[in-house]
Amino acid sequence: MFSIFKERSKDSGSYARTGTLLLNGVQIETPIFMPVGTRGSIKSLSSSDIDELGYNLILANTYHLYLKPGKEVLDHFHGLKNFMSYKRALLTDSGGFQVFSLASLFKFEEDGVRFQSHIDGSHHKFTPASVIDMQRSIGSDIMMVLDDCAPYGSDLKRLELALDRTHRWAKESYEYWMERPNGQNVFPIVQGGVNESLRKRSLDTLQNINFPGIAIGGLSVGEPRPEYIRILECMAPYFDQARPRYLMGVGTVVDILEGVKNGVDMFDCVLPTRNARNGQVFTSFGKLNLRNEVHRLADGPIDPECGCKVCTTYSLGYIRHLHKVKELTAFSLSTYHNLYFMQSFMERMRKAIEIGNFKGFYDHWKNLFGS
């Protein structure tokens, strides 16, 4: 077993836990939220901003980096971290989610996926091996396997087909990666839609392969929250304690709370940064729309309890003004605040688990952000 994770503490009333993830000398405390830098940049922020915020692990996307800047550029710069001047740890998706989200441009084949670029219509193909090669060029500390994420509402036949592809490609990916691990790690992706039996089968199949961690895909893709929770609850008792668990594409406060309650260690989502650019920020008293007229004369910070440089420097009224006149600074300041909030939220959650107060923490934040 490749050992990259050590469990530190557990909540007595749920599956919530804290731990330490070690990736090539970078230590990451879990549960963790990872900001998304799809194309090698977290929108509106610099790499020094990310360092300042204290994020030790961020996410980038293989599909988008494959198209631009491309493998040749990333090889020339010896990986994305050098290219973007980011020195901590990096996780990359395999492009499997783009197969799901850009379905009209993709066609499944026995050994991979053919697709047209959404940029210029050019034709390409991903295979289990080629996406590992691309992630080797990116220099990811955690690489994801190519998988098949069936859309929500798929019938049993489509879900079974997705499981067959996902498991077959995971085994191929593992064997190819093992030829040259090169200090990188690979996670397989559990699929199965909202079918409990298929989810358990997928988890069992993939945990029987010696991957360093496990990812859960195909959730937060349109299913109602009760379905999301039910599937997490059905898997929670069967997670391998020795491996980190990563729930892909999940980033609302409530969904993270449910994930941690059911034993998930890692999360990523574009929502905190995308919402910030659209004028919605997260605070200690819930969500706040920066563009509302009521904030026009607000001379206090976004959140009086927040210690970020935005809240200690600028008034809510000023940031509202920037959004209303579409100044680019509005994006960077709001994004910085939201990522500071997410970092602080996860840190407080870890402390709550360690001191045995996860239930109180869960109840407090679910009440504030629940919908």
Please enumerate, by residue number, every residue annotated as part of a binding site for substrate.
Answer: 93-97, 147, 191, 218
User: Which of 340, 318, 317, 339 lies closest to 329, judged by CA?
Assistant: 318
Other CB atoms within 10 Å distance of the CB of residue 234: 18
Distance CA 110, CA 120 (A): 25
Distance CA 201, CA 197 (A): 6
Distance CA 290, CA 280 (A): 6
Structure tokens at 301: 């910070």
Rama region for 32: left / alpha / beta (φ>0; ψ in -120 to 50; rest): beta
User: Quick check: is 268 catalytic?
Assistant: yes
Cis peptide before 31 (omega within 30 of 0): yes
Q: List the binding residues for Zn(2+).
A: 306, 308, 311, 337
- What b/e readout covers 290-315, taking b as 16+ CB neighbours within 10 angstroms? beeeebeebeebbbeebebebbeebb
Half-sphere CA count of 215, side-chain side, radius 13 A: 28
Active-site entry in 93, 255, 265, 303:
93
Q: List the binding residues.
A: 93-97, 147, 191, 218, 306, 308, 311, 337
Cα-flanking dihedrals φ and ψ of residue 33, to 5°? Answer: -105, 135
User: Quick check: is 299 catalytic?
Assistant: no
Please say whether the beta carbons of 145 and 187 come within 8 A.
yes
Please say whether the beta carbons of 188 and 214 come within 8 A.
yes
Half-sphere CA count of 355, side-chain side, radius 13 A: 8
Active-site entry in 141, 148, 255, 268:
268
Give the DSSP letter of residue 293. G
Provide the CA 76 distance to its chain's centre, in angstroms: 27
Residue 359's Cβ-count burial label (10 Å; 0-12, 13-18, 19+) is middle
- State whether residue 161 is helix, strand or coil: helix
Residues with a known catalytic role: 93, 268
